[in-house]
């Protein structure tokens, strides 16, 4: 459970400041709409309790929408997807359906190559930029090892110091 929570707060950290700013402005605008503007536009405005509820619900929905917008804008970059295109798509596809499409379609997170820093997809064995192995492999049997493993998980031989 701890891991899940820390993953979630790590994800929250990538949301950019402008996303929080726009979300807060949208929330305040909704309070204005339901507490001030509605009194002037409606002959019989809804009772205050209903207006407060509507203001909070629509305000929160808009705030979440803007936070998701910032999240998609950053997250697409980490996955080697077109940031501008996906930001545009989630804005123009109505009712949040753009976000649903994004979360279904998004690619796995890219990992940096330990040798040259180029981003690579997690399934790749070799870097497409410099051609070196992305993960260390055993010098005697060739089995793939995790970075930092001292012994081969397959044949048990000690790992060669990484080049
Ligand atoms: Zn590389
Ligand atoms: Zn081995």
What backbone torsions phi and psi does residue 147 show, to the nearest 5 degrees? -60, 130
Residues within 5 A (CB) of ion ligand 1: 113, 115-116, 118, 127, 129-130
Ligand closest to Cα of 136 equals: 2
Query: Considering the chain, what is the average pLDDT of its residues?
Result: 89
Residue 146 φ/ψ region, left for φ over 0, alpha for ψ in the -120 to 50 degree band, beta for the rest: beta
Phi, psi of 42 (to 5 degrees): -105, 135
What's the CA-to-centroid distance between 153 and ligand 2, angstroms?
7
Provide the 3-class DSSP secondary structure of residue 130: coil
CA separation for the pair 16, 13 (Å, rounded) = 8
Task: Identify the pLDDT of residue 138.
Answer: 85
d(CA 78, CA 119): 9
Q: What is the pLDDT of residue 60?
A: 97
Q: What is the DSSP letter of 112?
A: E
- How many Å lie between the centroid of ligand 2 and the Cα of residue 55? 63
Tokens of 138: 């055993």
Whole-number Å distance, alpha carbon 144 to ligand 2 midpoint, is 8
Which helix (H) or strand (E) segment holds residue 49: the answer is helix 48-78
Q: How crowded is residue 152: how many other Cβ atoms within 10 Å of its Cβ?
A: 21
Q: What is the pLDDT of residues 97-114, one digit of tens each?
A: 999 999 999 998 888 888
Structure tokens at 153: 């998980």
**Has residue 155 got a pLDDT over 90?**
yes
How far does the centroid of ligand 2 lie from the alpha carbon of residue 115, in Å? 22
φ and ψ at residue 10, rounded to 5 degrees = -65, -40
Three-state DSSP class for residue 54: helix
**In the predicted structure, residue 161 carries a pLDDT above the cut 70:** no
pLDDT tier at 142 (50, 70, 90 boundaries)? confident
C-alpha 159 – ligand 2 centre gap (Å): 8
Which H helix or E strand runs over 39? helix 38-41
- pLDDT per residue as tens digits for the range 30-64: 999 999 999 888 888 889 999 999 999 999 999 99
Kind and range of the H or E element at 119? strand 119-120
Ligand nearest to the CA of 152: 2
Q: How far is the CA of 113 from the centre of ligand 1 (A)?
A: 5
Ligand found nearest the CA of 156:
2
């Amino acid at each position: 459970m701890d891991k899940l929570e820390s993953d979630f707060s790590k994800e929250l950290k990538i949301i950019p400041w402008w996303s929080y700013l726009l979300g807060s402005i949208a929330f305040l605008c909704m309070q204005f709409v339901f507490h001030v503007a509605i009194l002037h536009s409606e002959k019989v405005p809804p009772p205050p309790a209903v207006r407060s509820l509507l203001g909070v619900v629509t305000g929160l929905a808009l705030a979440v929408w803007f936070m998701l917008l910032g999240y998609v804008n950053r997250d697409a970059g980490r996955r080697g997807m077109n940031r501008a295109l996906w930001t545009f798509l989630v804005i123009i596809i109505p009712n949040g359906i753009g976000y649903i499409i994004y979360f279904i379609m998004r690619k796995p997170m890219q990992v940096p190559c330990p040798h040259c820093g180029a981003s690579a997809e997690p399934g790749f064995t070799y870097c497409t930029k410099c051609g070196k192995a992305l993960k260390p492999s055993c010098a005697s049997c060739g089995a793939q090892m995790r970075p930092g493993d001292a012994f081969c998980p397959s044949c048990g031989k000690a790992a060669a110091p990484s080049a």
